[in-house]
Amino acid sequence: MSKLGKIFYLLAALSFVSAVVIRLLIGGWVPFLWICIALSIGFFGGAIWNDRLFYRDFFGMKTTKQGLSMGALICLVMGFLIAVNFIAVRKYKVFDFSSAQQNTLSAQSIQLLKSLNADLQVFYFYQKGAEGVEENRRAFIELLKKYQDQSSFVKLEFIDVNERPDLTEKYGVNKGNGVVFVDYKGRKNQIQKIDEQELTSALVKVTREKDKLVYFTVGHGEKNLEDLRETGGIGAFKGLLEGNRYTVKTVSLSEKGEVPADADVLCVVGPVQAFLEPEIKAIEAYLRKGGSLVLSLEQKSHHNLLPLLSELGVEAKEEYLVNFVDTQVGRAVNPQATTGIQFSPTHQITKPFEKNLFTVFRLPMPLAQTAHAPEGLAIDPLVKTSDKTMSYKDTSFKTAGTIGTYTVAMAVKGRFAGADPKAPEFSAVVFGDADFISNQLLYQNLNRDLVLNTVAFLAKEENLISITPKEIGITKMQMSETAFYVFIFGFIILLPLALLIAGGTLWIRRRHA
């Protein structure tokens, strides 16, 4: 390359740099810049023309052609890799090989996400410098990424409570460490913790267009629906229902004479006084129309509902169920907690429940299907106790009954006796205990999920049935004593020693070859 050609290249580079610097300084395009661009192109062309013979000889050389071929191949490979990565970022597939499918959303979550037709806004409120805020943010991003992979409508926005007081006030955020709200078409819901169960439940709540009405009977000493302080009240249960966007009301059947026509679910929880005959007739008329009923009863209470249970094909025995443990000093019973550990694997209420989970009741009474249940009814035992359960006639626990497994919750579906053949089928769930819904026991293990799933099923909102958190499976490797010694001596000692000897032998032979 000639000296003049190098000067031309230098002037071309200076002209181009001058155009860029002037453009940045001025902050806009001016006609003068065309002169710099033209000079740069002119000098570049002059350099090539001045050394045209040199370039002709250079590109005619065999080594140059081979180098250009290799360069073209490298460019093609780089272009292919860039294209593959670009496509992989836009459209990719995740394969989950974990035994519990920990990294995959449930079918329920995916179905809900595919039904979205507007933006689902997810607001994460935080405060800079708060303890654990960065760890919580990373965990939430990882969770929400699974939802965004299924739907482009899912939008995430992080909001510092100190920078956006308008949104903080709008959503009623009073703390800044990981408060999350889901907003869909103006309907919003707050999630309590970062997991798929809570987020999908919130998604179901905000996508529901109409609130369901749940009525509780009053006037028979039922559990107090407004009591949040006493252990026996069910105010916490009412709060849960309202948090799931149910409208909770009370009804006095003795005054009204019938179950309200807009009732999606009727709940009878822990009555201790007798229902009058007209009230029972009102409940029966409601079931004939295809209503949904929750009966949560205590043993030896004069509620006068046992005949109604018989019409549902369910028999309640006036006994107390307790778990027992055999110890060295004798058999010990625990009257405070009777666990239900066996769940119906086919019914929608308990189907999500996995093994090693349980519900907690307090002295429930056993339920069973009557010997002559009405025809056409589908009766399903929902919850059963363990085989270490004993029945007692009274709470003195002196006269023991039979040891075995007992049913404490049953689901019934079908047409009520005397109903019009064209009428829809009724649904009912009977519990042999009312304390498991109380403020004291509601959040014990699976109690909350059991009762919320029951209401969701009866309200014909199967999508709101809780997702049980997935358990991480543990793979155990058990070895016999012989296999253990073979592993230690064969793989830990002999194999590394053999590789070391082989490597040393090859090194010596190659050195003296």
Tens digits of residue pLDDT in 191-221 = 877 778 788 878 878 887 777 899 999 999 9
The identity of residue 430, as a single letter, is: V
Print burial letters for 75-84: b (CB count within 10 Å at least 16), e (below 16): eeeeeeeeee
d(CA 29, CA 40): 17
Tell me, rounded to whole angstroms, the distance of Cα 57 from its chain centroid. Answer: 70
Q: What's the whole-number mean pLDDT along residues 13-18?
A: 88
- Indicate the SS3 state at residue 513: coil
Among 171-175, 215-219, 463-467, top mean pLDDT goes to: 215-219
CA atoms within 13 A on the CB side of 110: 7
Which of 19-23, 224-228, 300-304, 486-490 is predicted with the least confidence, judged by mean pLDDT? Answer: 486-490
For 159, the token pair is 């909001």
Tell me if 411 sits within 8 A of 421, measured CB to CB. no
- Indicate the SS3 state at residue 370: coil
- For residue 240, give the nearest of 24, 455, 18 by alpha carbon: 455
- Strand order through the sheet with 154-160: 154-160, 120-126, 177-184, 187-191
- Indicate the SS3 state at residue 29: coil
Tell me if 143 sits within 8 A of 194, measured CB to CB. yes
The CATH number of domain 212-464, selected from 3.40.50.880, 3.30.70.270, 3.90.1200.10, 3.20.20.20: 3.40.50.880
The Cβ of residue 143 has, within 10 Å, a number of other Cβ atoms equal to 15
pLDDT of residue 475: 53
pLDDT band with cut points at 50, 70 and 90 for residue 164:
confident
Instruction: Please name the residues in contact with 216: beta carbons below 8 A apart, sequence gap of 6 or more.
Output: 222, 225, 248, 249, 250, 251, 267, 268, 269
Query: Tens digit of pLDDT for each residue in 229-241?
Result: 888 899 999 988 8
Q: What is the DSSP string of 53-64?
A: HHHHHHHHSHHH
Which letter does DSSP use for residue 82 in this model?
H
pLDDT of residue 471: 46
Is the pLDDT confidence value at 288 over 90?
yes
Query: Tens digit of pLDDT for each residue in 382-432?
Result: 999 999 999 988 888 887 778 999 999 999 999 998 888 888 999 999 999
Is the pLDDT confidence value at 290 over 50?
yes
pLDDT of residue 270: 93
Tell me, rounded to whole angstroms, the distance of Cα 131 from its chain centroid. Answer: 25
For 320, the token pair is 């107390």
pLDDT band with cut points at 50, 70 and 90 for residue 334:
confident
Q: What's the whole-number mean pLDDT along residues 45-59?
A: 82
Is the pLDDT confidence value at 272 over 80?
yes
254: burial class by Cβ within 10 Å (0-12, 13-18, 19+)?
Answer: middle
Contacts from 248-251 at CB under 8 Å and sequence distance 24+? 248/214, 248/216, 249/213, 249/214, 249/215, 249/216, 250/215, 250/216, 250/217, 250/218, 250/225, 251/215, 251/216, 251/217, 251/218
User: SS3 for 432-477, per residue?
Assistant: CCCHHHCCCCCCCCCHHHHHHHHHHHHCCCHHHCCCCCCCCCCCCC
- For residue 266, give the nearest of 428, 142, 418, 125 by alpha carbon: 428
- For residue 225, give the nearest of 16, 29, 434, 473 by alpha carbon: 434
pLDDT of residue 243: 73
pLDDT of residue 480: 74
- What percent of the chain stands above pLDDT 90? 36
pLDDT of residue 98: 58
CA angle 290, 291, 294 (to 5 degrees): 140
pLDDT band with cut points at 50, 70 and 90 for residue 166:
confident
pLDDT band with cut points at 50, 70 and 90 for residue 478:
low
CA atoms within 13 A on the CB side of 448: 19
Which of 168-177, 211-220, 499-508 is predicted with the least confidence, judged by mean pLDDT? Answer: 168-177
**107-204 classified as CATH 3.40.30.10:** yes
324: burial class by Cβ within 10 Å (0-12, 13-18, 19+)?
Answer: middle
pLDDT band with cut points at 50, 70 and 90 for residue 477:
low
CA angle 436, 452, 266 (to 5 degrees): 85
End-to-end CA distance of the chain: 50
For 499, the token pair is 């590789």
Query: Tens digit of pLDDT for each residue in 97-142?
Result: 555 556 677 766 787 788 888 999 999 888 887 777 788 888 888 8
